[in-house]
Amino acid sequence: MTTPTGGERLRDRRSRRSGGMVPEAGKPWHLVLAALFLLALALPAVLLVAPGFRGPDAPAPSPTVPAWQQAPTALSVPQVLAPLQPSAPVPVPAAVAAQVEPVLSADGGGTFTGMVQDALTGQVLFDRGGSEGRVPASNLKLLTAVAALRTLGPDHRFATKVVQGPAPGQVVLVGGGDVLLGAGESRPGQVMGHAGLATLAAFTVQALRSAGTAGDIKVLLDDSLFTGPSLNPNWLSGDVEAGEIAPLYPLALNSARFDPAVPTGPRPQDAAMAAAEAFAAQLRTAGAGTGLTVAAGVDRSPGAAKAGAATLAGVDSATVAEQVDLMLQVSDNYLAETMGRMAAVATGRPGSNDGATATVTAEIAASGVTPDAVKLVDVCGLALGNQVTARQFTDVVRAMTTGADTRLRSALDGFPVGGLSGTLDTRYGDSTTSGGAGLVRAKTGTLNTVLALSGYVVDADGRLLVFSFIGNGLTPGAAGNKVALDRAATALAGCGCR
């Protein structure tokens, strides 16, 4: 064993203090410096190539995806109102009256009658002249909706057909009650224009070609389904001239409008012939280049199309339920009158105004509404000779909401919603009525001296209430009358009347 000398121990101490970089005795300093220089050059190179020996870096952890951005694993639960509970408290009549009476007042002349009932039990919660016959205006369409849904059924569709004519080279366009025809292609997702004349023409050309028909084709029109006067004598000439209504036929374009986007102003006075001429034009276009030509002009068939005549083509309307909803939403007079006549035909009555009024009266009675004091001279509510009570309207709305005949539920989607849709879309916007926005669902009625509102609402306690308020003899144009109706309905929506 060699014992270190004193000089070696000194070098060891210095070497440990300096990290082993002190040169040993006998080694030249310039060699040590060269070695350090080479080491400084080598370190960066080592760092560059080292990853190749280590392999790829571990991937960075994925960021956490928020729950609302992750792919769903199941269908979401729709956020809807909870089912109504029969245990919800029924409002106290005196408390309801205390809310409604102060706001249901006429602006100027005239008076309001009204009725509020509990929908489930029928208990009367408010009654101001509720059994008094009143001019109902377009609230009458609620009764027509009942008749159409009961006699025709919610799923029924009206067919517009083309059949073989009485002579070779003739075809007959047969109206079947669809007055919402479109001039172009059928639009299955729409109510207006669900059945299109361009589609009907294309089907007709296909059938004629398959039968080997060529040459000139003459179009005839059969609109014999409706009978009696096409214009009700109870309608004021000013309303007809203003386009509130038009002569009734069992087929029409756009509910007897020139343009479906323009729901006011003049209307065709022969809507059936206008539709037939549009069909002939589409048939001419569809037949071009196929050996078929179409004679100019359309003639009315001398009688109804022969029973058993071969059907060449047909297109179907939207369902009765969908048409009823449209009728109520926009208060379409022409569509309402058509529905009344089609309901009459379904019961074996004539497709006339008399047949329609008789059918509507009979069907509301069959639905459980006492028809006493009901007087109908039309079925759209345009005439001033109609008489219906507020009680009868609340009974009709009760039948729709909670009655045993579930076919009537189909009408509920057609009720305009306060501040949101249909004829109530621009109402319920001020501080006194905004509490009813989105909650009040009701059919409106408007004539020069008449305003009405009948519908339903769920009150603050979760109780379903039905109501009808009717103003007659009102001052024309007085702004406060619509507000009075809306305030009364809003009071019911906010009612915790116990």
Q: What is the pLDDT at residue 373?
A: 87
199 in Cβ contact with 314 (< 8 Å)? no
The residue-averaged pLDDT of 270-283 equals 98
Q: What is the pLDDT at residue 76?
A: 53
Q: CB within 8 A of 15, min separation 6: which ones?
A: 21, 22
Of 141, 161, 443, 482, the catalytic one is 141
* CB-count burial class (<10 Å; 0-12, 13-18, 19+) for 22: middle
The residue-averaged pLDDT of 360-375 equals 95
131 carries an active-site annotation: no
The band of 476, judged by pLDDT with boundaries at 50, 70 and 90, is very high
Residue found under tokens 């294309």: 202
Phi and psi at residue 314, in whole multiples of 5°?
-160, 155
Of 138, 186, 301, 410, the catalytic one is 138
Q: What is the pLDDT at residue 436?
A: 96
Of 186, 331, 352, 468, the catalytic one is 331
Q: What is the pLDDT at residue 23?
A: 41
Above 50 in pLDDT, residue 356?
A: yes
- In angstroms, rounded to a whole number, what is the distance separating the alpha carbons of residues 296 and 272? 17
Above 60 in pLDDT, residue 6?
A: no
- In angstroms, rounded to a whole number, what is the distance separating the alpha carbons of residues 190 and 365? 33
Q: What is the pLDDT at residue 154?
A: 98
Beta bridge partners of 216: 293
- In angstroms, rounded to a whole number, what is the distance separating the alpha carbons of residues 198 and 457? 43
Q: What is the pLDDT at residue 67?
A: 65
Above 50 in pLDDT, residue 10?
A: no
161 carries an active-site annotation: no
Query: Regarding predicted confidence, which is higher, 164 or 50?
Result: 164
Query: Regarding predicted confidence, which is higher, 426 or 4?
Result: 426
- Give the up-direction half-sphere exposure of residue 114: CA atoms within 13 A in the CB hemisphere: 28
Instruction: Kindly give the pairing relationship between strand 464-472 and strand 292-294.
Output: unpaired
Average pLDDT value for the chain:
88
- CATH class, domain 93-153+331-493, is alpha beta
The residue-averaged pLDDT of 261-287 equals 96
Above 50 in pLDDT, residue 3?
A: no
Per-residue model confidence as pLDDT tens digits over 23-79: 444 445 455 455 555 555 555 544 444 444 454 555 555 556 666 556 666 655 544
Instruction: Kindly give the pairing relationship between strand 170-174 and strand 215-222.
Output: parallel
Q: What is the pLDDT at residue 40?
A: 52
Domain locations in the chain as residue ranges: 93-153+331-493, 159-318
Residue found under tokens 């109870």: 234
The residue-averaged pLDDT of 471-490 equals 97
Q: What is the pLDDT at residue 18?
A: 40
Q: What is the pLDDT at residue 227?
A: 97
352 carries an active-site annotation: no
Per-residue model confidence as pLDDT tens digits over 306-317: 777 899 999 999
Give pTM, 2 decimals. Answer: 0.83
The residue-averaged pLDDT of 140-168 equals 97
477 in Cβ contact with 458 (< 8 Å)? no
Above 90 in pLDDT, residue 302?
A: no
Q: What is the pLDDT at residue 9?
A: 36
Q: CB within 8 A of 395, min separation 6: which ones?
A: 117, 368, 369, 370
The residue-averaged pLDDT of 97-114 equals 97
- In angstroms, rounded to a whole number, what is the distance separating the alpha carbons of residues 238 and 353? 20
Above 70 in pLDDT, residue 224?
A: yes
Q: What is the pLDDT at residue 359?
A: 98
- In angstroms, rounded to a whole number, what is the distance separating the alpha carbons of residues 378 and 334? 11
Above 60 in pLDDT, residue 389?
A: yes
259 in Cβ contact with 184 (< 8 Å)? no
Q: What is the pLDDT at residue 306?
A: 74
Percentage above 70 pLDDT, the chain:
83
- Name the nearest CA neighbour of 120 among 393, 463, 462: 463
With helix as H, strand as E and coil as C, how does the chain read? CCCCCHHHHHHHHHHHHCCCCCCCCCCCHHHHHHHHHHHHHHHHHHHHHHHHHHCCCCCCCCCCCCHHHCCCCCCCCCCCCCCCCCCCCCCCHHHHHHHHCCCCCCCCCCEEEEEEEECCCCCEEEEECCCCCECCHHHHHHHHHHHHHHHCCCCCCCEEEEEECCCCCEEEEECCCCCCEECCCCCCCCCCCCCEHHHHHHHHHHHHHHCCCCEEEEEEEECCCCCCCCCCCCCCHHHHHCCCCCCCCCCCECCCCCCCCCCCCCCCCCHHHHHHHHHHHHHHHHHCCCCEEECCCCEECCCCCCCCCCEEEEEECCCHHHHHHHHHHHCCHHHHHHHHHHHHHHCCCCCCHHHHHHHHHHHHHHCCCCCCCCECCCCCCCCCCCEECHHHHHHHHHHHHHCCCHHHHHHHHHCCECCCCHHHCCCCCCCCCHHHCCCCEEEEEEECCEEEEEEEEECCCCCEEEEEEEEECCCCCCCHHHHHHHHHHHHHHCCCCC
Instruction: Kindly give the pairing relationship between strand 292-294 and strand 311-316.
Output: unpaired
- In angstroms, rounded to a whole number, what is the distance separating the alpha carbons of residues 387 and 136? 7
Beta bridge partners of 160: 315
